[in-house]
């Protein structure tokens, strides 16, 4: 038997102190639930206790789905890691590199799918970069994923593709590549190849009215008080609903996303037997892609990820003698605190959900303590 009391006490304490207004944690081992606990409330009036029915804006945890979809296309022979992005998005054929004097010059290197997946494409995170504003005006605010991603390329890059690391719109562009390469709308490809076969019924870019009614209240930490303040139930975006953000646009639930995490922890095969990815593809997914210089840039951007490097769209744990965690586990998280971990060595997966933006406590304390407590509880 596992001893999970410290984990429960931690979640209850954080909710009681209101650093987490509401949360949900689910742990699977060998594809089976071994722990589940919710704390706090899903509404600002505190009348609806957090429950397994709750949905969350998962923000950048969407990137896991996007990269898995790209890996499926690679297995199908439709994409290759070293394909040029311009093969699918013509806007990326004649890229420019920004210069210190404010000018730009033609890029010497070609941006590839590998660069997108490893965040080494040279893009930034300004989703109005390039000619996006012009495209939105020309389409009456109804531009789609491919149109907007192509417009990103009109702005100069920060560095030559493949030479640096910058957390950016790379996975948004990857979503557009998936749409162009597959001949299907990005969301339709995800639904057909990932969500439906895994049984993920509540993961979508376009929640229904019923799904909206189950979205957990969204908060933002006030910089002065350090406490979460209610900001609404809807994720705000300056791009239209016709744009599907592979980098951060999904709504999901803990019960849904654990199915994806389970498949990755089981080296690509889902609990229901669906062959999502080959074992060697999962290993490729979590193989570090960064040079020493790039990893230094990654760790500077994500100080909380000591001991990690970055693979094809996921953090990959190498070692940290201050942690109880297993080398080789991988995953990603989201701006409001959604957290995903898959550990093939132990056939372990867990998904944690909350909806609190602007919380340094979440990334520097809560996620790390949750991770270490999970492994500690499994070993006691």
Which domains does the chain carry?
5-73+186-379 (3.40.710.10), 81-182 (no CATH)
CA distance linking residue 199 with residue 274, whole number of Å: 10
Which residue bears the tokens 């060998």?
Answer: 30
CA distance linking residue 290 with residue 179, whole number of Å: 27
Annotate 65-80 with b (16+ C-beta within 10 A) or e (fewer): bbbbbbbbbbbeeebe
CB-CB contact of 22 with 39 (8 Å): yes
- Helical axes 62-75 vs 170-182, angle rounded to 10°: 40
CB-CB contact of 132 with 151 (8 Å): yes
Closest-CA residue to 216 (of 200, 193, 236, 235)? 235
Cα angle value 199/201/203 (rounded, 5°): 110
Q: Would you state the pLDDT for residue 318? A: 94
Find how far residue 344's CA is from the centre of its chain: 19
Residue 346 backbone class (left: φ over 0; alpha: ψ -120 to 50; beta: rest): alpha
Closest-CA residue to 121 (of 147, 72, 71, 86)? 86
CB-CB contact of 262 with 31 (8 Å): yes
CB-CB contact of 353 with 216 (8 Å): yes
The sign of the CA dihedral 360, 364, 366, 370 is positive
Closest-CA residue to 25 (of 17, 201, 15)? 15
All residue ranges of the chain with pLDDT < 50 are: none
DSSP 110-148: --BHHHHHTT-S---S-TT-TTHHHHHHHTTT---HHHH
CA distance linking residue 98 with residue 114, whole number of Å: 21
Closest-CA residue to 41 (of 70, 16, 59)? 16
Closest-CA residue to 163 (of 95, 62, 65)? 95
Q: Would you state the pLDDT for residue 158? A: 98
Read off the tokens for 108: 């010497």
* DSSP conformational letter for 243: S
CA distance linking residue 306 with residue 289, whole number of Å: 16
pLDDT in tens, 273-302: 999 999 999 999 999 999 999 999 999 999
Count of Cβ atoms closer than 10 Å to residue 278 Cβ:
15
């Amino acid at each position: 038997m596992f001893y999970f009391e410290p984990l429960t006490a931690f979640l209850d304490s954080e909710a009681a102190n209101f650093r987490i207004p509401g949360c949900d944690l689910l742990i699977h081992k060998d594809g089976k639930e071994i722990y589940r606990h919710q704390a706090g409330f899903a509404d600002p009036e505190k009348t609806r206790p957090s429950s397994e029915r709750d949905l969350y804006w998962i923000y950048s945890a969407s990137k896991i789905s996007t990269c898995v979809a790209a890996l499926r296309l690679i297995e199908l022979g439709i994409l290759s890691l070293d394909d040029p992005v311009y093969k699918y998005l013509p806007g990326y054929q004649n890229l420019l590199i920004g210069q210190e004097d404010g000018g730009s010059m033609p890029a010497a290197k070609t941006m590839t799918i590998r660069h997108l997946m490893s965040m080494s494409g040279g893009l930034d995170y300004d989703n109005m970069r390039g000619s996006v504003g012009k495209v939105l005006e020309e389409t009456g605010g109804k531009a789609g994923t491919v149109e907007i991603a192509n417009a990103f390329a009109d702005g100069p890059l920060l560095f030559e593709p493949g030479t640096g690391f910058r957390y950016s719109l790379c996975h948004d562009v990857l979503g557009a590549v998936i749409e162009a390469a597959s001949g299907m709308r990005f969301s339709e490809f995800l639904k057909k190849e990932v969500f439906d076969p895994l049984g993920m019924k509540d993961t979508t870019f376009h929640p229904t009215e019923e799904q909206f009614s189950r979205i957990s209240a969204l908060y933002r930490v006030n910089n002065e008080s350090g406490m979460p303040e209610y900001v609404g139930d809807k994720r705000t975006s300056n791009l239209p609903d016709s744009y599907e953000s592979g980098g951060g646009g999904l709504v999901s639930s803990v019960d849904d996303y654990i199915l994806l995490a389970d498949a990755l922890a089981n080296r690509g095969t889902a609990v229901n037997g669906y062959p999502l990815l080959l074992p060697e593809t999962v290993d490729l997914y979590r193989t570090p892609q960064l040079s020493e210089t790039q990893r230094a840039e990654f760790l500077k951007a994500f100080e909380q990820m000591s001991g990690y490097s970055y693979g094809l769209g996921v953090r990959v744990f190498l070692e940290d003698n201050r942690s109880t965690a297993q080398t080789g586990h991988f995953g990603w998280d989201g701006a409001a605190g959604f957290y995903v971990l898959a550990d093939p060595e132990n056939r372990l997966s867990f998904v944690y959900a909350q909806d609190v933006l602007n919380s340094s406590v979440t990334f520097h304390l809560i996620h790390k303590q949750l991770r270490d407590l999970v492994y500690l509880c499994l070993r006691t």
